[in-house]
Amino acid sequence: MANRRQFLAGLLATGLAPVPTWADAGNPAYLSAARLPDGRYVLIGLDRHGAERFRIPLPDHSHAAAAHPTRPVAVAFARRPGRFALVLDCRDGSVLAQLDSPKGRHFYGHGSFDGSGQYLFTTENDYAAGTGRIGVWDVQNGYSRVGEFASGGIGPHDIKLLPDGGFVVANGGIDTHPDSGRLKLNLPTMRPNITYLCETGELLEVVEPAQQQASTRHLAVRGDGLVAVGMQWQGDVAHTPPLVALHRRGAPLRLLGDASALDGYVGSIAFSGDGTQVAITSPRGGTLEVFHVTSGAVVRRLAEADVCGVAAAEQGLIATTGLGRVIRAGTTAQMLQSAPLAYDNHLVAINPLG
C-alpha cells in the first residue's frame, strides 16, 4: 500500500497535487520585517487584526518584502545597498531560492511580482553607469534571472504593479555606490521621477516633481490605477515643499499637504481599504497623516512615535511602528497589538489590488 509520500509524489507527477495558497500559511493579510530585542531579524506575517501568524528568521536587515499573488511565498529584500534577496516558503520558513544581484548591481529593497506570479521584478542600481535597472526573474525556473531593462531614471526605489498590467517605478534620482555606503553622490543635479513601464520594459510615461530635490521614494496604487507618491526632501528642511502627490497617467502630479509635520521624510504610503483616503507616515516626524483623495484635505493627523509601515485595512488603515505597536488609524490611533520588537519600514499588503 503506497505511503503518503509516494501518494503525493504521484499527484505531483500527474499535476493533480493541490497548489498551496496563503491559507496554508495562516491567512496573513500583511508582511513586515522586524528586529528582535537581541538584534536578530525576522519576517512576520500579520492577520487583518495585526495578530502574528508566522515568524521566519532572516540573516540580516530586510527593508521590504514582495508577496506572491496566490502562493504562500514572500521575497525578503536586503536593505539598500543589499545584494541578496531570499525567497521564503511562508508555511515553514524554508528558503526556496536566494537571489544575488549581478556583478556591478545592488538591490534597492523593493520588488513586485506580475499579476500571474510567473515573474518577479526587482529595482536595482547599475552603480558603474549610475543608472537604474529593473531585473526580471523567472519564478517557474527557480527564480533564474532572465532579463532586465531600464527603470527610466536614477535610483529606482519602489515598484508597484498596475491593475491593467505593467508597473510604476519611483526613481528617486539619487546616485549611490556601495563603496560609499549610503552616501548620496549627486544631490545638486538629481532628477527624480515616476516612470510607467510595460512588463517588457517599454517606457510609457515619465513625470517629474517640480522640485528636483523631492526624491520620489514610495508608491501606492488604487484599483482604478490612481497612483499615490511619497517623497523625501533632500534640500533645506526649512523650505520643504509638499511631499505627497497623486497621479493619473496623462495628468500632472497633484500635490497634497504642506509637509510641516514630516521633518522632510515620508516613510510609507497607502490607500485606505475603500480607496477614498490616502495615508502617509513619517517616523522622523512621529506622525501619520490621512488625506481625502477627492478634496485633498487632511482628514486626520495622528501623533505616533516611530510610525512607518502603513497599509489598507477593511476599516480604513493599519500601521506599524518601530516600538512594536500595530495600530488602526481611525479617528484616533487604536492599538491592536503590541510586541517586544521593532517593525521595519514597510507593512506589505498581500494582494493589495485584490
Q: What is the pLDDT of residues 168-214, one digit of tens each?
A: 999 999 988 777 777 887 888 999 999 999 999 999 999 999 999 99
∠299-300-306 over CA atoms, to 5°?
Answer: 140
Verdict on whether the full-model pTM lies above 0.95: no
CATH fold label, 18-261: Methylamine Dehydrogenase; Chain H (2.130.10)
Which pLDDT score is estimated for 16?
A: 59
Q: Which of 343, 353, 354 is nearest to 31 (CA)?
A: 343
Which pLDDT score is estimated for 15?
A: 56
Contacts of 223 (CB under 8 A, 6+ apart): 163, 275, 353
Tens place of pLDDT for every residue, the chain, 354 residues?
Answer: 446 556 545 555 555 567 899 999 999 999 999 999 999 999 999 999 999 999 999 998 899 999 999 999 999 998 877 788 999 999 999 999 999 999 999 999 999 999 999 999 999 999 889 899 999 999 999 999 999 999 999 999 999 999 999 999 999 999 887 777 778 878 889 999 999 999 999 999 999 999 999 999 999 999 999 999 999 999 998 899 999 999 999 999 999 999 999 999 999 999 999 999 999 999 999 999 999 999 999 999 999 999 999 999 987 899 999 999 999 998 889 999 999 999 999 999 998 654
Q: Which three cell numbers stand for residue 90?
A: 511562508
- Could you tell me if 246 and 278 are in contact, meaning their C-beta atoms sit under 8 angstroms apart? yes
DSSP string spanning 164-201? TSSEEEEE------GGGTT--S-GGG---EEEEE-TT-
Q: Which of 219, 274, 276 is nearest to 244 (CA)?
A: 219
Distances (CA, A) of 129 to 106, 132, 148, 176: 13, 9, 15, 11
Q: Which of 155, 156, 142, 43 is nearest to 99 (CA)?
A: 142
Q: Taking the CB of residue 213, how many other CB atoms lie within 10 A of it?
A: 22
DSSP string spanning 282-347? ETTTTEEEEEETTT--EEEEEE-TTEEEEEEETTEEEEEETTSEEEEESSSEEEEEE-SSEE-S--
Which pLDDT score is estimated for 81?
A: 76
Q: For the chain, what is the largest distance between any 2 Cα atoms, rounded to a whole number of angstroms?
A: 76
Which pLDDT score is estimated for 1?
A: 41
Which pLDDT score is estimated for 18?
A: 76
Q: Which three cell numbers stand for residue 27?
A: 491567512
Cα(207)–Cα(251) distance, rounded to whole angstroms?
9
* Residue extents of the structural domains in the chain: 18-261
Amino acid at 30: Y
Cα(303)–Cα(319) distance, rounded to whole angstroms?
12
Q: What is the pLDDT of residues 99-116, one digit of tens each?
A: 999 999 999 999 999 999
Which pLDDT score is estimated for 331?
A: 86
- Could you tell me if 265 and 285 are in contact, meaning their C-beta atoms sit under 8 angstroms apart? yes
Peptide bond into 81 cis (omega under 30): yes
